[in-house]
Amino acid sequence: MPMHIGEKDFQNRVDKGLDDGFMRGAVRSAQGRLQNNRAKAAEELGDWEEWRSLGKEIRNHTMENLDYYLEQLTDKIAELGGHVYFAKTADDANQYISDVIAKKDAKKIAKSKSMVTEEIALNDILEANGCDVVETDLGEYILQIDDHDPPSHIVAPALHKNKEQIRDVFKEKLGYTNTEKPEELTLFAREKLREEFLSADVGITGCNFAVAESGSFALVTNEGNARMVSTLPKTQITVMGMERIVPTWEELDVMVSLLTRAAVGQKLTSYVTALTGPRIEGEVDGPEEFHLVIVDNGRSKILGTEFQEALHCIRCAACINVCPVYRHVGGHAYGSIYPGPIGAVLTPLLGGYEDYKELPYASSLCGACTEVCPVKIPLHEYLIQHRQKIVEEEKKSDWGERLAMKGFGRMASSKTLFGIATKSAPFLVTPFVKDGIISKGPGPVKAWTDSRNFPAPAKERFRDWFKHREKGDSDHGKG
Amino acid sequence: MAKGDIQNRDAFLDQIANQLGRERQRTPVQRPDWNHQVQWNVLQGKSQDELLDVLEEQCKSIHTSLVRTDASNLNEALLEVIKEYGGESVMTWYDPRFEEYALTEAFREWKGEGIHVDKWDAKNGEESIRLAEKADVGITFSDSTLAESGTVVLFNDKRKGRSVSLLPATYIAIVPKSTLVPRMSQATREIHKQVEKGEQIASCINFITGPSNSADIEMNLVVGVHGPIKACYVVVEDR
């Protein structure tokens, strides 16, 4: 499962997140800043709700006619001399890209940040083929140098690391000798990566939005690495999720305006680079050879279902930046390269309930995500729908869980059994109680007591206290 | 250029149509008139002078300095900026506008100031990229300028290399005041019209908003990552 990160057990991943004090501090402060910037930018623009409605309208229309727009896009690209490969699965995409690289006899690959290549785990395949793959987005570069630490946020992948950790990684792996100041760390990366850009044989980019009418695609960045990757290497491969497309340049404007504000609160990022085919004859920079790989990998199955709007996502991470659950457990806990509310919606759709059935429960259903989504995806409603489906499916399968639930159901619905269970609670938990507090609870109480204390059950049950009180039994009056 | 290959398209698009519960869309789809068209309200009806004020204000938030000048003082203004940033080698586009603003002649005289100017020449092939990489300063004109975001739009071609605005540590854009429009909507509408007329658009269109930057380390903004570290717009009254 390429999309998967970290260990298999959800609870263990969550525990790890909760225990990582530094990560939680970093996430808290980053969320604060990003939320603030987004809100400010939206207010400054004005008519934000109308903008969101426009975004939704455009995404709706595009998804309803996706086959048409993809055909138009790829006809244009082929006309311009670019090659197009439609990849049904991650394996298909990786195989095609490997073949192109092998044909070019290319050794060094420079990549700019791309979530879809993370999703298909392209780097693993290329490295296994013996290529030197260099991630050039600063955050991705840091993670790659640190023995391929997985990303924890879709816009700021190294959000979980502090500057001291980054300094240490650079020191250990690259012989860095300066301080932990972000300016010095960044300058060091600039110099290191400049050599890589100039010597790369192939550049690989993602795609924020393709423009159907002209066969173009746009890269939205701040660092300039995507410009390097699309200017210097002779061969360029661009990988796009099949839904990342708009009809014309006019819609590109709207979607980019929504994206940069929702993601980081900028009116525009430093660079929006729109590329159309390989370089035109006579031009010196830009790729001679251009390949576009369009990836399905489970997306088409979402079309025509109640979850179709999940494909409207433009990967801004606004929902992640307001999510109280993400704030506490961090990105790695989701076990997917797509964390937060959109991750909890999208990951089970792409990867199946079998592996990701816990994710729709990693939400307080507060609805903050839905409120900030620039294209109005009903995120928290989708989480509820996922839960319904999971319960439906479990009725059909997981007998162990059903048995336990049935046990509880029987116990709770029988007056006698419930009475025995609640009466025995104070005795059963006695070994865990100290000064009327449980701080290391057993079984179902454990998750709670890992982060806070739980009061021990009262010696007298509420029901008993109430009964006695009704009788006017003064001894029991102040229970 | 020979036509490129397209592989696996039909099966892929059939699956999409199938999921959407219909046949493949074979006739051209009409883009609807969107119900909400708020983008045109932004800075609507502003004069060029008012747009310039907006641009100047926006430059403060994007770490970009802005200099106002007129055609007769453009040469002096550019020299001053270069001296301030420090630079001995300059790379420019091969763009007729340099001649129109009498800069080609002026550049020759910069030698006396210890500044060497090269221009992008596709005939030199790779050498042009190398020169851009070695240059301290890159200078281009802006083809369209977006007041709201503080953005210069560049239509690159064989005489207007992508590397000039990318590789040198300092980037200077000469902004003719007439290129100012309210926002991205006006620029993309022009490109859309070009496509509708069946014209070939530039292989690379850059929307550049200040110097490169990153906030990947603890969300601290660092200006100057892979692209230019400093950026300046020199706005010139039209001749």
d(CA A260, CA A222) in angstroms, rounded, equals 10
Q: Given the structure tokens 């717009």, which residue do they identify?
A: B233
SS3 label, residue A347: helix
Q: Cβ separation of B6 and A74 shorter than 8 Å?
A: yes
Q: CB of A363 within 8 A of CB of A340? A: no
Crossing angle for the helix pair A66-79 and B9-19, to the nearest 10 degrees = 160
* H or E, element range at A96: helix A90-103
Chains A–B, number of C-beta pairs less than 8 Å apart: 307
Q: CB of A219 within 8 A of CB of A238? A: no
Question: Which residues 6+ apart lie within 8 Å of A409 measured at CB?
Answer: none
Q: CB of B181 within 8 A of CB of B147? A: yes
What average pLDDT is seen over chain B? 96
- Look up residue A104 and give its amino acid: K
Q: What is the pLDDT of residue A477?
A: 40
* Long-range CB pairs of A41-48, under 8 A, 24+ apart, other chains included: A41/A261, A41/A265, A41/A266, A41/A267, A42/A261, A42/A262, A45/A257, A45/A261, A45/A267, A45/B42, A46/B41, A46/B42, A47/B38, A47/B41
Residue B20 domain-assigned (yes or no): no
SS3 content of chain B, % helix, strand, coil (to 5): 40, 25, 40
In this structure, what CATH number is given to the domain that contains residue B72?
A: 3.40.50.10420
DSSP B160: B
Range of the domain at B90: 46-236
Residue B175 domain-assigned (yes or no): yes
Residue B6 domain-assigned (yes or no): no
- Look up residue A122 and give its amino acid: L
Length of chain B: 239
* DSSP line for A100-128: HHHHTT--EEEE---HHHHHTTHHHHHHH
Q: Which fold has domain A65-301?
A: Rossmann fold (3.40.50)
Q: CB of B173 within 8 A of CB of B235? A: no
- Measured in whole angstroms, the distance separating CA B119 from the mean position of its chain's CA atoms is 17
Q: Cβ separation of A194 and B226 shorter than 8 Å?
A: yes
Q: What is the pLDDT of residue A395?
A: 79
Q: Given the structure tokens 């001296």, which residue do they identify?
A: B83
What does the pLDDT look like over B83-116, one tens digit per residue?
999 899 999 999 999 999 999 999 999 999 999 9
Q: Cβ separation of A253 and B184 shorter than 8 Å?
A: yes
Identify the residue among B29, B149, B216, B220 best suited for mutation to test binding to A, counting A beta carbons within 10 A and taking the highest. B216
Q: Which residues of A19-29 are buried (b: 16+ CB within 10 A; e: fewer)?
A: ebeebbebbee
Q: CB of A235 within 8 A of CB of A100? A: yes
DSSP A336: B
Q: What is the pLDDT of residue A104?
A: 96
* DSSP line for A57-68: HHHHHHHHTHHH
Q: Reduce the secondary structure of A433-452 to three states and give it as a string.
A: EECCEECCCCHHHHHHHCCC
Query: Is residue B125's pLDDT more than 90?
Result: no
Residue of A nearest to B155 (CA): A274
d(CA A320, CA A314) in angstroms, rounded, equals 13
Q: What is the pLDDT of residue A478?
A: 40
What does the pLDDT look like over B26-84, one tens digit per residue?
999 999 999 999 999 999 999 999 999 999 999 999 999 999 999 999 999 999 999 99
| Other beta carbons within 10 Å of B227 | 29
Q: What is the pLDDT of residue A448?
A: 59
Partner-chain residue, chosen from B24, B36, B222, that has the shortest CB–CB distance to A182 = B222
Partner-chain residue, chosen from B16, B62, B158, that has the shortest CB–CB distance to A283 = B158
Q: What is the pLDDT of residue B11?
A: 98
d(CA B66, CA B56) in angstroms, rounded, equals 6
pTM score: 0.89
Q: What is the pLDDT of residue A287?
A: 97
What does the pLDDT look like over B142-199, one tens digit per residue?
999 999 999 999 999 999 999 999 999 999 999 999 999 999 999 999 999 999 999 9
Partner-chain residue, chosen from A92, A256, A300, that has the shortest CB–CB distance to B16 = A300
Work out how many domains chain B is built from and give that number.
1
Domain ranges of chain A: 65-301, 429-479
pLDDT average per 10 residues of sequence, chain A (479 residues): 82 92 90 94 96 98 98 98 98 98 96 95 96 95 94 90 94 96 95 93 98 98 95 97 98 98 96 97 95 98 98 97 96 95 97 94 94 98 96 72 55 61 61 67 58 70 74 48
Residue of B nearest to A277 (CA): B203
Residue B204 domain-assigned (yes or no): yes
Residue B14 domain-assigned (yes or no): no
Q: What is the pLDDT of residue A402?
A: 56
Tell me the two tokens of residue A139. 């955050």
